[in-house]
Amino acid sequence: MKITDFGYDGEGVGHMDGKVCFVPYTLMGEEVEVDIKKETSTFIKAFPNEVIIPSQKRITPPCPYYTSCGGCDFQHMSYEDEIELKKNILTRQLSKIQFAKDFNIVTSKSNYSYRNKVKFFCGDKGLSLKHAMSDKLVPIDNCLLAKDGINSVIDKINKFILRNKLTKIIDTITVRQVNNIICIKFDFLKEPSVDFTGLSLLLGNKVYLYKSINGKGIARVFGEEIELLENDLKYTFKIDAFRQVNDSVAEKMYQKVCDAVSGGVVLNAYSGAGLLSGLLCQKAIAVYGVELGKEENLSAESLKQKNNLDNLTNINGDCKDAIANLKIDFDFVVLDPPRVGCAREVCESINKVDATVIYISCNPASLVRDLGRLNTFNIESVTLFDMFPRTANFEVLTILKKKQN
Ligand SMILES: C[S@@+](CC[C@H](N)C(=O)[O-])C[C@H]1O[C@@H](n2cnc3c(N)ncnc32)[C@H](O)[C@@H]1O
């Protein structure tokens, strides 16, 4: 089958038996032999068994797990070609709402070793990631996307869980790197009868251990509270609170948000652990953060206390209801929702506000839907931030201005 186009996830697209066929890990112009994984009345999803005529742009993926582990999508092309593909994907999405202007692209300084967080599943052989085209687990001893500190603990965690026969009672293991500290959180399905002292001694005092049983609360087993100082803000790191995964791209993205704000009252919707709210407090008269997560909200409250941010109000609630209840004339609205995008009610509330809107999205499909709903605004600018190199994901920051009557 010949690959004649690309799909919204950057996969190759061809045709077979009169149906459109999506084939990941392929490039335009390639001739491939495929294995059908899913077939419906309108489309086929297939795995490329063999690339018969490769594109000149194809490169050898550096990761031995590539195409079995589902973590990466674009290791078979250069980073320059990946950026070009992401640009084309976003252009095509934006054309659905008749946006045809150029946009800026901010690339990542590192296109490997950038992730400060990896959530592993626990399989029979230890730390694993999900297979690309099934729920099968792929045991991993090194992830090229992860920061070195994360990779440095994988082998020791594996020995600990296998020696103590814990694989059946661990659901996931999250490993995060913050500065030079590594945090490991074990999500147990039931209380384990195991002593972590040996593991802690083996890993050293720069590795902190946490556990959670059946998702109920998090206990710190070894290590201290992690106090950070970022952009002049004192901040307590919480193992389960949202944090952008690529530190250097996140910094540039936050800078762009802050550059768009000057004075006034800001609504920071989907505000996470409060770091962006804290930065916005340095530019605005007042900032209202709205966040659903409990852990994130605790973090945002502690950031407020530690930095004496009297102009910050953290609201722990669902944006869907909380924003409609805020009877405030906002000058700026920051929206940074999860992949599903904003609830329809959020767009309806924002349409009534005479403000500049800064919409950060990690999913161009829900972004385009919401931009269509935010119909009292014009798009002023769009910037693609490549937060997730080697994967099909990226962030888009859109600045919207109120339409003049
Ligand atoms: C993409 S993160 C953005 C976080 C933050 N802006 C940052 O950069 O750290 C999305 C956040 O929205 C929160 N969230 C998800 N659904 C929500 C809802 N319905 N209402 C409020 N917050 C929500 C999540 O807990 C998460 O912290």
The tens-digit pLDDT sequence of the chain (405 residues) is 999 999 999 999 999 999 999 999 999 999 999 999 999 999 999 999 999 999 999 999 999 999 999 999 999 999 999 999 999 999 999 999 999 999 999 999 999 999 999 999 999 999 999 998 889 999 999 999 999 999 999 999 999 999 999 999 999 999 999 999 999 999 999 999 999 999 999 999 999 999 999 988 899 999 999 999 988 999 898 898 889 999 999 999 999 999 999 999 999 999 999 999 999 999 999 999 999 999 899 999 999 999 999 999 999 999 999 999 998 999 999 999 999 999 999 999 999 999 999 999 999 999 999 999 999 999 999 999 999 999 999 999 999 999 987
- Give the Å distance between the CA of 245 and the centre of ligand 1: 14
Q: Is 235 in the pocket of ligand 1 (CB under 6 A)?
A: no
CA distance linking residue 308 with residue 304, whole number of Å: 6
Identify which of 191, 182, 111, 196 has the alpha carbon closest to the alpha carbon of residue 149.
Answer: 182
Q: Is 300 in the pocket of ligand 1 (CB under 6 A)?
A: no
Residue whose Cα lies nearest atom 9 of ligand 1: it is 272
- The answer to whether the CB of 318 is under 6 A from ligand 1 is yes
292 lines ligand 1 (CB under 6 A): yes
Degrees, nearest 5: CA angle 174-176-177: 165
Residue 175 alpha carbon to ligand 1 centre in Å = 20
Is 395 touching ligand 1 by the criterion CB < 6 Å?
A: no
Fold match, 5-58 / 104-109+244-402: no
Domain segments of the chain as ranges: 5-58, 104-109+244-402, 117-226
Domain 5-58 has CATH 1.10.10.60: no
Q: Is the CB of 28 under 6 A from ligand 1?
A: no
Q: Is the CB of 296 under 6 A from ligand 1?
A: yes
Q: What is the CATH number of domain 104-109+244-402?
A: 3.40.50.150
Q: Ligand 1 centre from 316 Cα, in Å?
A: 11
* pLDDT tens figures, 155-214: 999 999 999 999 999 999 999 999 999 999 999 999 999 999 999 999 999 999 999 999
Q: Report long-range pairs for 213-220 (Cβ below 8 Å, ≥24 apart).
A: 213/188, 213/189, 214/188, 214/189, 214/190, 215/187, 218/185, 218/295
Q: What is d(CA 392, CA 40) in angstroms, rounded to the nearest whole number? A: 24
How do residues 255-310 score in pLDDT, each as one tens digit? 999 999 999 999 999 999 999 999 999 999 999 999 999 989 999 999 999 999 99
Residue 183 CA to ligand 1 center (angstroms) comes to 22
Task: Calculate how far, in angstroms, residue 25's C-alpha sits from the geometric centre of ligand 1.
Answer: 31
* Inter-residue contact 239 to 177 (CB < 8 Å): no
The CATH class, in words, for 117-226 is mainly beta
Closest ligand 1 atom number to CA of residue 275: 9
User: Does the beta carbon of 271 lie inside 6 Å of ligand 1?
Assistant: yes
pLDDT at 386: 98
338 CB under 6 A from ligand 1? yes
272 lines ligand 1 (CB under 6 A): yes
* Residue 181, strand partner residues: 178
Per-residue CA distances from 251 to 126, 245, 255, 275, 337 (Å): 34, 11, 6, 11, 18
197 CA to centre of ligand 1 in angstroms: 35
Nearest-atom index, ligand 1, CA of 320 = 19
Name which residue sits closest to atom 7 of ligand 1, judged by CA: 272
Ligand 1 centroid to Cα of residue 366, in Å, is 15
